[in-house]
Structure 1
């Protein structure tokens, strides 16, 4: 078992402790709905559950269109997220690369000082020893608006797949809105496709 896997196993929290922390998974402690289930807020004094440190400013996705978020803050958030992604890709200090597979604005959490932190690693892939440069899967995982077209087409997952998703996130910050956008035709499109179409039309 790798050192990273050992650390992850040590972070498992018993269900009874989680139930206690969330007041029996009370509806009053619900703060959102994630892709894999309900998200609860709890206070800490088996079953497979994902626990994150609560960050008071929530996700970046909730603030994209806010006029209160300055350009300096936006740039710092992007730099924080880039450093976090680099940390995962460079082996986390143990020569083991982690591919996130679901980089998006709603998975970037902001603390009380607006420091950005990458969250939601349910879909991660661990590359032991960094001996190979890709993983293969029959079906591309992740959120479709952010999925690397090359990964979706070939099933080959590389760190560049995460970088593509991060690029979509940067466009979200630049444009001040999420990757799925609503056109005047009342149809939803992905910002990456719209950007490509506008670039080809030169406007």
Structure 2
């Protein structure tokens, strides 16, 4: 589809270049909040319908003529998607050799990738993030109101953004594919797409992708949160996390690679259920991977188990503190 046709179709989302320049202070380097393969992301403030809103502006690097397909794919996807765990589009600019996608600035806490080894990100918070991402993926794969499913194809800890309340927001829809809801299990012919460490290893053999390719990528993100390390570390002996963690799971030694700061926080039941969910998402054969609806259900149960564990543990520590320090006075 020609760009002129697409500009007409999405005319209601078009933002003048002058407005984006004003919002980002002419793409000042101090406003850069992200760097990716397609270009830089800038923060800014944009006047929209009489209201000043905080925005993120992805400015595509168009010097080499690339990124146009990805640009329109993202605009098309985000224009249809409305979910609390997916970034919200504000508009786009397609003017004077500039290709810019503008979304709400929702990454107050950056990307998940920046916090994998953050000792202050608790096990409960990590579980809540997982549940939020699973809700978004379930919406993408099965939402009946939209009339079609979406295969994201680039789920990783960099495309999961975190707002001020640590709620996850999925971004990065540049290579996503639409598919009929009744054909989500059918293979869509495709070259290997995604990021090293997260990519469904069956793509090459199957000559394409299904929604279960997202499930594999999500399984890797679950491992990252559990182990506090990235999916791919170039110069590490175990540079790919997924096969390394699968080996430990199958040898019942997963405890050895859990992020140390998390161990004392976990209930044994929540760890068991969580690791089983991650392991199932990473099954070699797609037909053995659970549907995202089931993944979501199991993760919600895991979170409830952990919350009940904390409700039991907290009063115990309060009682122990009172017994140890009976004369301690709290001054309001």
TM above 0.5, one fold? Answer: yes
The 5 Å alignment of 1:46-65 reads 46=94, 47-54=98-105, 55-65=107-117
Query: Structure 1 residues 109, 201: closer, same or farther in 2, change over 3 A?
Result: same
The C-alpha deviation readout for 1:74-126, integer Å capped at 9, x for no partner, is 10000000001111111362121111000001111111111111111111111
Residue of structure 2 equivalent to 1:87: 139
> SS at 2:239's partner residue?
strand
Closer/same/farther in 2, CA of residues 73 and 198 from structure 1, 3 Å limit? closer
| Matched position secondary structure for 1:144 | coil
Counterpart CA distance in 1 for 2:249 and 2:124 is 27
State TM-score, norm by structure 2: 0.54
CA distance in 2, matches of 1:63, 1:125: 29
Residue of structure 2 aligned with 1:15, choices 9, 14, 17: 17
CA pair 150-20 structure 1, distance change in 2 beyond 3 A:
same
Shift of 1:27: 1.0
Give me the whole-angstrom Cα distance separating, in 2, the residues matched to 1:135 and 1:14.
36
Q: 1:83 to 1:199 in 2, by over 3 A?
A: closer
Partner of residue 164, structure 1:
216
2:192 is the alignment partner of 1:135: no
Tell which deviates more after alignment, 61-70 or 32-41: 32-41
Instruction: State the SS of the aligned residue for 1:78.
Output: helix
Q: Which has the larger radius of gyration?
A: 2
SS at the partner of 1:181? coil
Cα distance in structure 2, aligned partners of 1:63 and 1:97: 30
For the aligned residue pairs, the C-alpha RMSD in angstroms reads 2.4
Higher relative contact order, structure no. (Cα contacts within 8 Å, ≥ 6 residues apart): 1
1:178 aligns with one of 225, 230, 234: 230
Q: Quick one: structure 1 residues 182 and 144, their matched pair in 2 at CA, closer, same or farther if it must change by over 3 Å?
A: closer
| Higher deviation after alignment, 116-125 or 173-182 | 173-182
1:118-133 matches, cutoff 5 A: 118-127=170-179, 129-133=180-184
Contact 1:91 1:98 (C-alpha < 8 Å) held by counterparts: no
Aligned equivalents of 1:26, 1:147: Cα separation in 2: 34
Is 1:27 the equivalent of 2:33?
no
Q: CA deviation at 1:188?
A: 6.3
Can you give the 5+ residue segments of structure 1 that lack an aligned partner in the other structure?
A: none
Q: Give unmatched runs, 5+ long, in structure 2.
A: 48-93, 254-332
Change beyond 3 A, Cα 1:68–1:178: same
